[in-house]
Amino acid sequence: MRYLYLIAFVLIVTNIQAQKPRVLNYTTQDDKPITFGFCVGLNTMDYIIKNSPGSFFPDSLLADISRANPGFHIQIISNYRLGEYFTLRFLPGISFGQRDFNYFRKDDNNNYTLVNEKHKLESNYLEFPVLLKYKAKRLNNFRPYLITGPNLRVDLAKTYSEDDEVYLDLKRFDLYHEVGVGFDFYLPYFKLGVELKYSYGFFDMLQRRNTSHPEFQNAIDKLNSSVFLLSFHFE
């Protein structure tokens, strides 16, 4: 009986606590027509590689990304309120990352041997995303959302001199489509957003020019950018 009384007491106290109204933080933030903030986060840059048909014949090269390298990004947030559930966001910023290429050569026995390890491609992007944010109904101090839209990126690190060993000559500009999910947490003095986003590049990034080692570029038929981002928004 003592255990029954204890369980009943815990249930009653829990029910009373659940019925207490919670203090809502930062209640006027979502009603403002224009708001600002900043964003910091981590990213991993990748390429979706379509190897040329000749890469699968003997004595040919096959390209692959060795592993994901962590990078980071910083952005300025500008929000324009479209309604109760929609916001237009402009997040100009800069991001840093690196992709490592490996090249393998195929022999007559269909075995691949590593011939060029970790050819590094560093990228410093200026980016200009314009995103539409759909917000669900606020639950106390928590609000989930979805986000999507285009992002123009300009690679500032794409500079080669005549003395550089160039394996891949890539384009400077790319247009991405971004889609993601996030959660806004309303704290006493600011709103914290945690967001996971995927970004896919529309354009083939190969420049198709003469390089120091054309066989490495000829091994690739198409190269599209791919980026995963974890962001923290402070507004």
Q: Got the DSSP string for 23-75?
A: PPPSTTGGGSSEEEEEEEEEEEEEEEEEE-GGGGSTT-EEEEEEEE-EEEEEE
How far CA 199 is from CA of 46, 176, 205, 229, in Å, comes to 10, 6, 15, 8
For domain 27-234, say whether CATH 2.40.160.20 is its number. yes
What is the pLDDT at residue 86?
95
Tell me if 88 sits within 8 A of 53, measured CB to CB.
Answer: no
Domain edges within the chain: 27-234
Which of 86, 97, 146 shows the shortest CA–CA distance to 125?
Answer: 97
Query: Of 5-9, 115-119, 139-143, 158-162, which one has max mean pLDDT?
Result: 139-143
Distance CA 223, CA 202 (A): 10
| pTM, entire model | 0.80
What are the pLDDT digits (tens) for 182-218?
999 999 889 999 999 999 999 988 887 666 667 777 7
What is the pLDDT at residue 54?
65
What is the pLDDT at residue 14?
44
What is the pLDDT at residue 148?
96
